[in-house]
Structures are given as C-alpha cells and as structure tokens.
Structure 1
Amino acid sequence: MSTRISPIEQRNTPPTRRSTRLNRQKCMEYCRPTNPTIHFPQRTVQSLTPATSSKTGSPIIFFGVQGGTDSKRNEFPHMVAIGFRNVGSGITSWNNCGGTLISHWYIMTAAHCTDSELGSPALVRLGALNVNRNLPGQEVEDIGVAQVIAHPEYQGTRGDLSIYHDVALLRLERRVEFREGVQPACLYDEQEVNEREVVATGWGNLGFADAPSDVLQKVQLDIIPGQQCKDLLGTDATIPRGIQSQGQVCAGVLEGGRDTCSGDSGGPLQVNNTRTFRPGYSCGMEIIGITSFGKFCAEKNSPGVYTRVANYIPWIESVVWQNGD
C-alpha cells in the first residue's frame, strides 16, 4: 500500500543553474546507444462533438487522447500507466491516469491523479503498448507505489485552486532496471518552449463518451502562446486566477472539433530531445508538460492546459535525486 507524504513547504522558483546542471547530467546518463524515431501522426483526425462537463463550466479532467493514432512498440518507453485498485473487487484499472518514468525510482504525474475518487495509485505498469493485453514481444512490468508525493503548493481536488501546481511524484517499491521498452525521459528545463509542435500520449478514451483505448495513442498538438491562452480561457470560478504561464503551458488545435482534449491525465506532453548531444546515443524525449485539465473538450479556441515541467525542476530534483540515484 502506498503512503502519502508531504514535503516540507518550500518556495517554488524557476530552474537555477545548479538544478539545470543536475537535470541535464541525469539526462546524459540515461541516454542509450539506440536511435528510435518518434513517428508523428498526420492531422487527419476524427470529428468530435464539442463537450463540456455535466456541471456547467467545471474543468474537464483529461482521460483520453482524442483524434490520435496508435503508437509503435517502444516508441514512448518512458510512458507509464497508473493502476487504481478497487478495494471491493480487487480489480486494477489502468485507463484513468498516465505518468512518465524519470529515474530508476520515480514516476512523474499530475497531482489530481493522486487525490481523486479512485483513491491513491496502487501500481504502475511499464513497457506496455497494449495496457490491458500482453502482446507477443511486449515485456510488461508492474511495480507497486511506495509513496505519493504531491507538490507542497497543490491544494487538492476539493479546493478552488486545484488546477494549479498539478504535479506529483510516485516513489516505487523497487528500482526499475532500464531496457529497450523501459527508459526514462528527460525534463525540458527552459521556461520558454521553443518548439511549436508537441505530442501527447495516453491510453484514455478515443473520443468523448467512447471506450478507452487499449493501445497507447499519440496526438500532435500546437503550443499556444501564453497570453493567447490566457485570453481564450479567461478567468472564472473554474480558473480563478486565470492561466498562470509560469507554471502552466497550453497546447491544442484551435480549429476545434478534433484533438483539443489530449492525453491521459498525468501523461506527458513531449518533444524529441534535440538539445542533449552524446555521439552514438539516443537521448529519447523531453517532457514539456503534464496533462492537467481542459475547460472544454474539442471546442474551437479551447486549448488544453498542462503543468509546465520547467517551473518545477528544482523541487523534482530535490525529491528524485536527493541520494544521487
């Protein structure tokens, strides 16, 4: 059974030179002598009916990549499914939240995935393309969650400010041994995102009110400039402080009707890692954001909101690599 711990309250500051060095050092360590290519999907996606939550104006917590395509085996080896166990039946469900493997011991996810009606995360599943069926050649590994560590400024799903500081770390019960289908991702440490196109991944619903996908989905999105996102989403009871660009980043397709709601809650918003250079090695993906919430789903001019990873790197480093591993 996992335990929930609260780190000592601390101010969250933008990445420092010291933290950036440690993050990049670990990224370099995790590079591997392979050369996988991330295949970006075409934007020929299904048309979706715009949807909001049943409670008018409430944020929709993302549970699925909509308008995406199937991923290829080992294309996203850092992708993790988070399992929630039903106490009564003992059955573990895997299609509710995702996460990112970032070290031998830790998964990065959304804080709201650790504080919901589903209870606390019980397990993580690594190495899966099909999350509910063990395909030939697919080496799936389940590991228990030992500790749940939400960011100290996260206020919980029952608070008015629950959409802010939506990041948590899961410490595992045992060390993950990296292999072809299980590799950590790097953390994007620049506050400004220079990449225009990014990819979200997850096992959630294929469309609003549709069944979840067993096969990992990927969808290509556009980064929406901070001020434009603030203007589009505004400020109301669901976003009381508006979009906070320091800790949040927006992505979507502003034409609407397709992939605006993207990715499992807690899953990664990512780009190919072109900034870490190690000759003969592949350094995988860099994680820009953590899938957090959407005000509307598949509506025009309503991008999704992601926790901006760069803003939380000092805190992440203080937890994940405090003992050097």
Structure 2
Amino acid sequence: AIKAACILKAHPKTNTAVQLIGPIGDGSDRLERADLQAVGSEKCHEYYNPNRKLRFGVLLCCFCARNAKLDRCTNLHSSPLQIVARRSGKEVPYLIGHKSIGKSCDTNTPGIYTRYGSYFEWLETVTGLNLDEKECFERY
C-alpha cells in the first residue's frame, strides 16, 4: 500500500545519521542510499558564509549534511534526504528535505538541503493531511 510520506518538522540534530537517495553513476536508473551526517548550523556557515553567490549564507529553510569518507553518492539536485525513526521494533522513514547545492560525499564541504520542516504548515494545508509526527508514525 502506498502511504503519504512522514515529514520531519524539527531541524536535524548535528551528527544525526541521514540517508541521501538517488541514482549513483552516469545514466543509472537504480536508486541507492548514501549514509551522511547532519552538520550543525555554525559549522555549515563556516563553509557557506554570505557572499555574492549565496547572498545571505545558509538560511533557516536549509541545513547541511556530508560524508567525507564516502567516495560517491548522487549529485542529482532535488534528491530526497530521509531519516529513519525506530520505535517499538518499527522503522518509519521521515523525509527531511532535498539536495539543493554542492556535493555531499568525498569532500569536507557539506551539501545544502532545503528543509521540508520549514514548509510544514503549508504542506499540511496543500495536501489536506495531518503530518503530525506521532500520527504519521502510527499510520505505518
């Protein structure tokens, strides 16, 4: 059965394990997961301070993630990022955001992701769904 995705409203905590999903390699249609870690806002701002290309730096609508030890992961922008919540023997994926800027693997510089939690109320209004974290967990 197809179920509506759960959305993580909160900002991912520093060093939280997250998964980037997308095609790896040239022309591949196969989706793979790459394990990344969320990077704290202060550290993220060290890499993406305000400049001509990124006028205001990394805003609250975004966050950073990376895995410098992973040699490859998808570079496809708009690839989804998720976190898997585990409770009472149950695993439920929560969408966190999608890739917006930069690489996330094989570099110390984290990629920037648009954070869906910034648009939580709007997503509930547009979809007509209750995206409350606990209710969503129960639906799975």
Query: For the superposition of Structure 1 and Structure 2, which TM-score range results when normalised by the shorter chain?
Result: 0.7 to 0.9
Tell me the SS of whatever aligns to 2:81: strand
Q: Which amino acid aligns with 1:302?
A: T
**Structure 1 counterpart of 2:71:** 258
- Structure 1 segment 287-302 matched on structure 2, within 5 A: 287-294=95-102, 300-302=107-109
Asked if residue 319 in structure 1 is aligned to residue 134 in structure 2, the reply is no
Q: Please give the TM-score of this superposition, normalised by the length of structure 2.
A: 0.76
More helix as a share of residues: 2
Match of 2:21 in 1: 201
Query: What's the CA shift string for 1:119-147, capped at 9, x where partnerless?
Result: xxxxxxxxxxxxxxxxxxxxxxxxxxxxx
Counting matched residue pairs gives: 129
Q: For residues 234 and 196 of structure 1, do their structure 2 counterparts lie closer, same or farther at Cα, with a shift above 3 Å needed?
A: same
RMSD (CA atoms) = 2.7
C-alpha contact (below 8 Å) 1:251/1:305 kept by paired residues: yes
Q: Which has the higher strand share?
A: 2
TM-score by length of 1: 0.35
Structure 1: stretches of 5+ with no match in the other structure:
1-178
Compared CA separation, residues 321 and 201, structure 1 to 2 (3 A):
same
**Equivalent residue, structure 1, for 2:10:** 190
Q: Which runs of 4+ in 1 moved over 6 A?
A: none
Rounded to whole Å, the distance in 1 between the matches of 2:20 and 2:123 is: 21
Tell me which amino acid in the other structure corresponds to 2:61: G
Contact 1:249 1:308 in 2 (8 A): yes
The higher radius of gyration belongs to 1
| Alpha-carbon distance between aligned partners in 2 of 1:226 and 1:200, rounded to the nearest angstrom | 19
Distance 1:285 1:199 in 2: 10
Cα offsets for 1:161-218 (capped at 9, x unmatched): xxxxxxxxxxxxxxxxxx2xx4432000113536611101012x52xxxx22121111
- The alignment status of 1:228 with 2:43, answered yes or no, reads yes
Counterpart-to-counterpart distance in 1, 2:104 and 2:128: 37
Cα drift, residue 289 of structure 1: 1.6
Q: CA deviation at 1:299?
A: 5.9
Same amino acid, percent of matched pairs? 24
Note closer, same or farther for the CA distance 1:315–1:195 as it changes in structure 2 (3 Å cut): farther
Unpaired stretches in structure 2, ≥5 consecutive residues:
130-140
2: distance between equivalents of 1:251 and 1:223?
A: 4
Gap change, CA 1:299 and 1:200, over 3 Å in 2: closer
Tell me, in whole angstroms, the C-alpha distance in 2 between the residues paired with 1:272 and 1:298: 20
